[in-house]
Amino acid sequence: MDTRELKAEFRLHSDGDPWGTTMAFWFAVAGEMYVRGIPIPDAWRYRPSPLGAKDPDAFETEICEQAGDETLAAFGALLNRYAGFLKRAGKDY
């Protein structure tokens, strides 16, 4: 799965809550990166849950498991920028 496909999945699963959708995918990306040992940028301020880095029941987890390392990092960087945009637009919570 490449970045283009991840973006398509993101759009497909957007439900009118851009902040919630962004966070769900971003946490899935960071969790998968953590499990694989891929460096996670400090700016993301990611900390894995004590219950595990990944939510096995979340569909975002399965999507991220299918992506390569570089794709995950690139998509995570894209989500980081989008989250910043949403926050500046007052669409976070």
Q: What is the pLDDT of residues 17-74, one digit of tens each?
A: 999 999 999 999 999 999 999 999 999 999 998 888 888 888 899 899 999 999 999 9
Contact 6, 67 (CB under 8 A): yes
Instruction: Name the token pair of 6.
Output: 């991840």
pLDDT of residue 52: 81
pTM, two decimal places: 0.90
pLDDT of residue 59: 87
Neighbouring residues of 52: CB distance < 8 A, sequence distance ≥ 6 = none
Contact 68, 38 (CB under 8 A): no
CA distance 64 to 49: 17
Query: Domain residues of the chain, as ranges?
Result: 3-88
